[in-house]
Structure 1
């Protein structure tokens, strides 16, 4: 249960050049958790955020440390 007054993590939309955008996911303490690649439009970056929201909750953790060894 979330403590009162604490904010959940957030997605921040940022300009990335003249006509592109990216987002970063930050934890409630401000730690940057993930940074996206560039998207060509605001609509595309919002779609990227929605894809992360939908997939993160159900995504598997895949350990690839031993690949290629």
Structure 2
């Protein structure tokens, strides 16, 4: 994991998505963040301690312009 000034959010914090992407794999649908979290294109995540964060999609009708 990287260190930053000011410090980056921890994997447990609500703003963990603000961590910096250190390795992106868009062809596979995931990225590794500087705090060790793996985030997926479907908005789910795998935390460094193995816990899973379920995808959190917006609820409501899809609006097509």
Instruction: Bin the TM-score by the shorter chain.
Output: under 0.3
More helix per residue: 1
TM-score, normalising length from structure 1? Answer: 0.25
TM-score, normalising length from structure 2? Answer: 0.26
The structure with the larger Rg is 1
